[in-house]
A and B are shown apart, each in its own frame.
Chain A
């Protein structure tokens, strides 16, 4: 399966600021997704990153808070905007092709202080 690299692996940010997380896949993929894993919780899908068009957001997540880009078949970014302590989570990038299961990056551990 392909390998996903996420940057940064962790960060501590001040409330009110924004952080952009990068997700790079080492081969072309069909779909890319962003998940949030709050402390001690399971993974929740934030949005599907669509190449060349606006991301598709799940209920409870909005573009103004979590803008997403996907300029090509191997790269996507997630921005966490105007952060508050409640945004402290692990953010994971995931990718799939038509013939493979979802594989995941190592995640970005975000702490907002």
Chain B
């Protein structure tokens, strides 16, 4: 069965510092990989996704993620965080064929706290 591990429940970063959120997955094949952000009281917003091609993908809000097949990882990075980045971040995996009758499997999330 597929699974997603986000080992850091909480991360505190100073404003302007760099950020890396970890995500490891277990899946039978190379899955579709996603990072979503959830601000308090809000739904989920897609930051970026990966299925194939360049293993370094760029997303919105200055985020990027790198897919490493050998490590089954898809870590999210940002070179300089802003106070508005404080939110819950979810890594998710889905089957490689989108539009099928399979939803996504989410990690438990990482709560990002920004220190002034």
Contacts and interface: CB of A to CB of B under 8 A. Distances in A.
Interface residues of A, number: 30
Interface residues of B, number: 25
Contacts of B98: 96, 98-101
Contact of A45 (B45, B46, B103): B103
A43 B106 contact: yes
Contacts of A56: 101
Interface in B22-58: 32, 34, 36, 41-46, 49
Interface of A: 1, 4, 30-31, 33, 35, 41-45, 48, 50, 56, 58, 92, 94, 96-107, 109
Interface of B: 32, 34, 36, 41-46, 49, 90, 92, 94, 98-109
